[in-house]
Amino acid sequence: MIKKLLIAIAGTALVSLASAQTGDAVKETGKAASEETKAAGDQIKAAGHSGPRKQVDKAKARAHKASARVHRHRAKAAADAAVN
């Protein structure tokens, strides 16, 4: 009876040890795969980008300016409502 109990405990210990090592290996493999994917994405972006594009920057600036204007008007309206 004691022999069976010792065998069961030893088997459980071996299984838990093996699963712990497997878990670490899986985590490391997942990290490596995500880093490779990110690096490939960066390479694709770099290949497609030829340099600064003035029109894109101007369009972003106009969109930001419009957004800031809306925000400014909403903030002013909220301040006026708080005073009244």
CA-wise closest residue to 54 among 64, 65, 46, 62: 62
How many helices and strands in the chain, by DSSP H and E?
A: 2, 0
Q: In terms of residues, how long is the chain?
A: 84
- Cα dihedral 71, 77, 80, 84, rounded to 10, equals -140
CA-wise closest residue to 31 among 39, 21, 43: 39
Q: Six-digit token pair at 78? A: 């909220």
Residue 44 has a pLDDT of: 72
Residue 26 has a pLDDT of: 60
pLDDT 10s digits, 34-78: 777 777 777 777 666 666 678 888 889 999 999 999 999 999 999
